[in-house]
Amino acid sequence: MVIGWHRPTKIIIDKKAIIENVSNEIKRLPNDSELFAVVKANGYGHGAVETAKAAKIGGATGFCVALLDEAIELREAGIKEPILILSVVDSSYIELLIKYDLSITVATQEWLELASDYLKNMDEKVLLKVHIKVDTGMGRIGFLSKSATLQAIQTIKSEDHFIWEGLFTHFSTADESDDTYFQKQVQCFQEILDALEEKPRYIHVENSATALWHKQVTSNMIRFGIAMYGLNPSGDLLPSPYTLKSALTLVSKLIQIKELPVDSGIGYGKEYVTSGTEWIGTVPIGYADGWLRHMQGFEVLVDGEHCEIVGRICMDQCMIRLIKPVAVGTEVTLIGKNKKKEITMQMVAEQLGTIHYEVACTFSERIPREYR
């Protein structure tokens, strides 16, 4: 996709915020624990490579992604630290996993056996780093029972081309106030740990929510994702133990303003009609950029004032009702601070009836990312 460098709409990423969020979490870790920064989905929309570099400055010792291609992107950008792919990768891509020195999630016995056959048939002996995923109640990927997990571990240990690097699970309710189901998952994972004769280098169960609110779980590595970007995993449900600094600001500029008389229709479908003489400003961002049509009726900030989005949001533009006439080129803040007021990504998520994770990941690649 073409990046819109030649229009005023842009996402500004505060790398210092990422560094500080990572550093603050590392201060809370035991001395034998590590933090892997999760930079999947293009760093939750913030830019994978640059956020990875910032996280490394903050103290991250490794990275997590979802796709093989995301891992390759980091390697080709010069990232040398451990990289774990959290999802399943087809066994036919093992040569790429080896070439780029990547760690892979193993979720089924069938995959292990296919991988073993593939490795045995390679011209030279190679070692594949694997992390066993246990499904303790997420229902996504992973081994479903203690016996199946132990069988997989035994398979890995009996073959000389695997390195058993990690064992992990994922909690589905760690960001909720009721921890009943969370504790059930903890118990399930602990039963597997108790059955092990030896443990791998990494035991990791802590996503951002678990790291923030459940420090009692057994783990020596955390997968620090959404909180690294300064966003509370629970939305506004649970207070963070320290201040999370939001890293993303979304801004644009007015490209035209006009004074329209009463009964003027605005946008497709004429869903908004001026109730009197109104100043209308046009902002060059629309649903093709991830500023979705459901944002109609929301407010943005212009010169420290809330201005309502009026009419349907178009593919490339939207219109706002200005409090007063301002100059073309005046900055419009869609997410972030403008003078003494602020629009947060959580506020946008509530307008859309979703979570801020989705908001951050929805912003199109055609919006340039600027790093400061």
Residues 83 and 185 in one domain: yes
**Does some domain include residue 331?**
yes
Do residues 310 and 280 make contact, with C-beta atoms less than 8 angstroms apart? yes
Q: How far is CA 140 from CA 201, 212, 360, in A?
A: 24, 23, 22
How many structural domains comprise the chain?
A: 2
Q: What is the largest CA-CA distance in the chain?
A: 80
Residues 130 and 271 in one domain: no
**Does some domain include residue 294?**
yes
Residues 225 and 339 in one domain: no
Which of 167, 196, 229 represents a domain boundary (last residue)? 229
**Does some domain include residue 144?**
yes
Residues 292 and 363 in one domain: yes
**Does some domain include residue 314?**
yes
Is 7 known to sit in a ligand binding site?
no
Which of 174, 197, 229 represents a domain boundary (last residue)? 229
**Does some domain include residue 362?**
yes
Residues 291 and 348 in one domain: yes
| CATH classification of the domain holding 300 | 2.40.37.10
Residues 330 and 280 in one domain: yes
| CATH classification of the domain holding 69 | 3.20.20.10
Is 228 known to sit in a ligand binding site?
no
> What is the domain extent for residue 217?
32-229
Residues 141 and 84 in one domain: yes
Residues 181 and 294 in one domain: no
Which of 229, 258, 273 represents a domain boundary (last residue)? 229
Do residues 58 and 23 make contact, with C-beta atoms less than 8 angstroms apart? yes
The per-residue pLDDT for 126 is 86
**Does some domain include residue 289?**
yes
What is the secondary structure of 42-94 as a DSSP string?
A: HHHTT-HHHHHHHHHHHT--EEEESSHHHHHHHHHTT--S-EEE-S---GGGH
Residues 300 and 186 in one domain: no
Catalytic residues: 40, 268
Residues 218 and 350 in one domain: no
Do residues 46 and 247 make contact, with C-beta atoms less than 8 angstroms apart? yes
**Does some domain include residue 238?**
no
Residues 104 and 170 in one domain: yes
CA 42 – CA 19 distance, rounded (Å) = 17
Residues 73 and 179 in one domain: yes
Q: pLDDT tens track of the chain, all 372 residues?
A: 899 999 999 999 999 999 999 999 999 999 899 999 999 999 999 999 999 999 999 999 999 999 999 999 999 999 999 999 999 999 999 999 999 999 999 999 999 999 999 898 886 788 999 999 999 999 999 999 999 999 999 999 998 899 999 999 999 999 999 999 999 999 999 999 999 989 999 999 999 999 999 987 889 999 999 999 999 999 989 999 999 999 999 999 999 999 999 999 999 999 999 999 999 999 999 999 999 999 999 999 999 999 999 999 999 999 999 999 999 999 999 999 999 999 999 999 999 999 999 999 999 999 999 999
**Does some domain include residue 15?**
no
Count of CB atoms situated within 10 Å of the CB of 270: 11
The per-residue pLDDT for 65 is 98
pTM over cut 0.75: yes
